[in-house]
Chain A
Amino acid sequence: MPLPDYEKKQYKVTRTMPGAWYLSNYKYKFNLSRMRIMLRGFKEGKILGVKCRGCNHVSFPPKLICGRCLVMPDQWVTLPDTGSVATGSGSPRTDQETGEIVIDPVILVRQDGADTVWIHNLPENYSFHDVYIGMPIKVHWAEELKGLWSDIEYYDPIEDMGDKINKEELAKK
């Protein structure tokens, strides 16, 4: 769509020096002590979150520092493999074969029992129109568990009892 009545002013052009920021020269440090325990749990098919003794907030993936109490949480809890969609979005991409624009759903998952969210995916070709907030989902484990982030391939949508009851009641009316 050509944007209507958008006046683009012409200015004189002077010498321009582009600024460059070579980020490849940088290194980044991480403390993976918490993350490693989570990944070790993945290898056993367990989902481990870390709980702060001060405020009882459970974070998954585990946090190093609880900002509310300013302590390092260290109490590990096993979380169920179910969760819900906290919120979602659609990220458009061009299909390599057909050249069509496909919109993949990207969701923020809140694991049941956790107070934090993380970014994950739904099964391939799942329509983003069907995603709604609070949608119950379940971990889809990879065939071989390697103790890596990719052990959780994606989240499977599961039957939403609440939604079903709502719909049944609507149908009765």
Chain B
Amino acid sequence: MERIGIVGYHQVRPELDLQMSPYECIFTAVRGALDHAGLKRKDITTVISATNDYYDGKTISNCFKVSAGGAYMKDESKVEMDGAHAAQYAMFRILSQNHKLAMVYGFSMPSCMPFECTRILELDPTFDRPISLMNSYSTCGMQMRAYMKKYGVSEEQIAEATATNWKNAAKNPLALQEAQKADMTAAEVLKSDYLASPLRELMYPLLGDGCTALILAPEKQALKITDNPVWITGVGNCQETYYFGERDLTTSLSMEKASEAAYKMAGVKPSDIDVAELFGYTACEDIILAESAGLAEKGKGDSLVAKGCLNPSGGATSGMTPCATGLNRIIEAVKQLKGEAEEHQVSGVKKAIASGQIGFCAQNNIIYVLEGGN
């Protein structure tokens, strides 16, 4: 695959109740990304958005966002998944050689929507929805229980990883202010109430309003725009089955297949990866995804968190914006590769991975292999 350069990005810092209208928020991110890359709107040839009608509370929510997203008289489309999936569609468009520069943005405003209710609408409507036992909390709880049981991982180990995420978020200037808890301890995590045993309140991320934009360019253009672009050298995407009965929750089949494809495309081995920015709802899910991506032995993933090479930005814990979290992970990985992540910089990063997901217990995973340097 031809390398694709990430030449500009901007993230609106998430807030619990952002004082911006949705269109203003998108405008800020898109304008910011253009300014970051030093480009003009007319340079962009295609715009791919990642929003969800259920998160916006209106049908065809993208039809009014055309102006704000800079897509007026541009080849435009929308991917109703995570922002990371939208970036893959933008890659399709660039690799086809029909387009030069692609703008990707992911946006949602959880302060305006009942997020957990919209997640219930993702369930199978004939069985799972009426019995109303499955939701974000209970599925995360089931996954955590299954993982702990199979590998003999204790609740303290998960709590320790969770506390590290909160502490990492404190070093991340773009994290939700409420998520920046520099003095969080495992004991405090274990003291919080159960959402769905063994999932506790402090193990589940806070939702923040925000928007993230990313500009992708083909190799030639990227080198013209910036001296040190970050390259996407591999991408893998996989969706496994929905039914929990068929899935092994202690691992992620979709992540295994997706990462396999991405590594193959990039020609790298899991051991080459220096930093992983993965989108998991909980610290436990982060660990499961990292293990499935081949970064650690099964059941030993929590050592990655301790070492600081898994989610140095805090991951989804640093503030989860549905539809934008995957893009945030990509941006954080890009910052690590460029050496621009100030306080949470990991030293000597050459290759990184970033992932996005949708569905319960990461039913669909998309993973990118990112490399720095010319």
* Interface contact B111-A19, CB-CB below 8 Å: no
Q: What is the interface residue range for chain B against chain A?
A: 20 to 34
Across the interface, which residues of B come within 8 angstroms of A71, CB to CB? 31
**Given A21-B121, A31-B24, CB of A69 within 8 Å of CB of B41:** yes
A11 at the interface (CB under 8 A from B): no
* Interface contact B111-A27, CB-CB below 8 Å: yes
Flag A15-37 by CB within 8 Å of B: 1 or 0 each.
Answer: 10101011101111111000000
Q: What's the Cα separation between A72 and B21 when bound, in Å? A: 13
A171 at the interface (CB under 8 A from B): no
B271 at the interface (CB under 8 A from A): no
| A59-76 with Cβ < 8 A to chain B | 63-72
B225 at the interface (CB under 8 A from A): no
B223 at the interface (CB under 8 A from A): no
Flag B112-134 by CB within 8 Å of A: 1 or 0 each.
Answer: 11100100010001100110000
Across the interface, which residues of B come within 8 angstroms of A68, CB to CB? 72
**Given A17-B125, A70-B27, CB of A28 within 8 Å of CB of B70:** no
Nearest chain A residue, comparing its CB with the CB of B27: A65
- Minimum Cβ distance to chain B for residue A122 (Å): 27
| B2-49 with Cβ < 8 A to chain A | 18, 20-24, 27, 30-31, 34, 41
Closest 8 CB pairs of A and B: A67-B67, A26-B57, A67-B72, A31-B21, A27-B112, A25-B114, A70-B41, A70-B70
B residues touching A (Cβ–Cβ < 8 Å)? 18, 20-24, 27, 30-31, 34, 41, 54, 57, 66-68, 70-72, 109, 111-114, 117, 121, 125-126, 129-130
18 extra interface residue pairs, beta carbon distance < 8 Å, beyond A22-B117, A26-B114, A29-B22: A15-B126, A17-B126, A17-B129, A17-B130, A23-B57, A25-B113, A25-B117, A26-B113, A29-B111, A31-B21, A31-B24, A64-B21, A67-B66, A67-B68, A67-B70, A70-B70, A71-B31, A72-B27
